[in-house]
Each structure stands twice: as structure tokens, then as C-alpha cells.
Amino acid sequence: MAGYDDRYGLSDNPKPSVFNRSLTLHVTPSEFRNKPYPHYSLERNGSIKKIHSPFESAKNSIKGKVRQLCSIFESTKSPTSVLDGSQPQTQFPSPSKLKSGKSLGFDSWVSPLVPNSSIRLQGTEDRIVVYFTSLRGIRRTYEDCYAVRMILRGFRVIVDERDISMDSAFRKELMSVLGVKNVTLPQVFIRGRYIGGADVIKQLDEVGDLAKMLKGLPIRAPGYVCGGCGDARFVPCLNCNGSRKVYDEDEEQLKRCLECNENGLIRCPTCCS
């Protein structure tokens, strides 16, 4: 028997086989509950040791960094801004909130966007006057005129619109008030004070100063359209019916109508009186 080969386990000193050892695992099913994909290692003494997943360690480290960042940002906020939602005291006020007096009236409050000018349009202290053109010969000019009219109509205030393309007298009037020969359109006057063109009106509307300037002016009803002119502000002359000619019975000849403009139109007596 001693001469047998060790490969068959028949030698004098046979080597212990791995298959002769028994191993019993004692793991209760409750250990695997509510644990997403745990990792276990098998030790030689028969016990099981749990190895923490690398995803869990990374998750814990990320949570720690997030808490640290939150503590940093929360410490920089003032208690008033968190409780009542107001702005922190370190912020600077916008130029639109600067006032020259306690009252918000137009006479005591001037926006920094409005040019400091002494130009006044007499007789219009109770209204808004807009000089514009309805012709589309110059696209940029027409778009600016249209934009300013729509901005003012959005406040539903009554606007005295003076179309220089319908009456050349308005152009001469604007040139005499501004004191220049070449004028750009549109031009806006509020309560008789010169405000400016389209760029100034757009900026005033964006920062909210235009609403303060228009406060207290007469407001038109929603959806109101003049029944006399359809908001065109002009109607045919009632004396010559737009022909610009009237018959003088005394002299028995046609004469130029003195009540209408060069286009045979007059201002609408319903909405422009």
C-alpha cells in the first residue's frame, strides 16, 4: 500500500483533501432586507464580513460636501431676506427709485432718464402730446412711432396724437417749439414738458418711471374707439366736404376753404376737442 502513488491518496502520509472540510454559513434572511446590493466576504473561520460598497462611500462624501456648501451659503443670508422675502440691505437701489422729493407727483419727481430741458408746449399741461407720422416711407421712423403709441395706449391714458403727415401745421409747430429745422419722430410731451423720442419712452417704460409720470391723467374706457373718426383723429372738412373749395355766392367764384388743412381734413370734434 506504501508503494501506491500519492495522486490517488494511498501513500503512507496522505495529504488532507480540501473536500474533507465542511463549512456552515449562518446568515439570517433579515440581514439582506432593505439593503441594496450588499457585498460580503467569506473568511476562513466561517464568518461573513460585510464590505461597504464604493457607491455608498461616495454618496456619503457627496452629502457631506453638500451640507458644507449649504451651511456656507445660509450663513451669508440675512434673517430678514429669508423670513419676509425682502432684498438684502447690501443691495444698491436702482436709478428708477431715486426721488428728488417725498411726493411722487410729476412736478416734484424727475426721472434721471429725462433730459433736463426747459422746452415747454404751452396749453398742454393737462395731457400727453405725441408728434408722429403714419406714413411708412421710412421703416425705422414708422416702427418707432407705432411702438410709442402702443406703449402709451397700454396705460389707457388719453393721448393727443398729432400726425404731421396729415397736417403740415403740426410739423411747423414742432419745429418752432424745439427750435430746430430737422426733427426726428416721434416726439413726446407730458403735461407740457418735453420728454424725448422713442428710445427715452422705451427706457422709461422698462424701469417703471413712465407709469409714475402718467399718474393722475384722464383714462379712457377699455376698448374705446372714437365713433367719429375711428381713432384716425381726422375727418373730412364739414364745410367743403374735403374738396378744399367753397363757392362764394357774392363773388360767384370758388375760393379756398379756410377751415381745413391742405388735405381737406379737420381734427375730429369728438375726440380732439
Residue 11's CB: how many other CB atoms inside 10 A? 14
* Class in CATH terms, 97-222: alpha beta
The single-letter code of the amino acid at 124 is T
Mean pLDDT per segment of 10 residues, for the chain of length 273 residues?
49 51 50 49 48 54 67 48 38 36 43 79 93 94 96 94 95 94 94 94 94 92 90 94 92 93 94 83
| Separation of alpha carbons 193 and 225, rounded Å | 27
DSSP output for 192-237: TEEEESHHHHHHHHHHTHHHHHTTTS-BPPTT---TTTTT-SEEE-
- What pLDDT, on the 0 to 100 scale, is given for residue 117? 76
Q: Taking Cα atoms as reference points, which of 128, 177, 174, 173 lies closest to residue 149?
A: 128
Residue 150's CB: how many other CB atoms inside 10 A? 9
Q: Taking Cα atoms as reference points, which of 72, 30, 31, 25 lies closest to residue 50?
A: 31
| Separation of alpha carbons 159 and 127, rounded Å | 7
- What pLDDT, on the 0 to 100 scale, is given for residue 77? 42
Structural domain boundaries in the chain: 23-79, 97-222, 225-273
- What pLDDT, on the 0 to 100 scale, is given for residue 166? 94
CB 215 within 8 A of CB 109: no
Write the pLDDT tens digit of every residue in 40-63. 444 455 444 444 455 555 556 666
Share of the chain above pLDDT 70, in %: 60
- What pLDDT, on the 0 to 100 scale, is given for residue 87? 42
- What pLDDT, on the 0 to 100 scale, is given for residue 99? 37
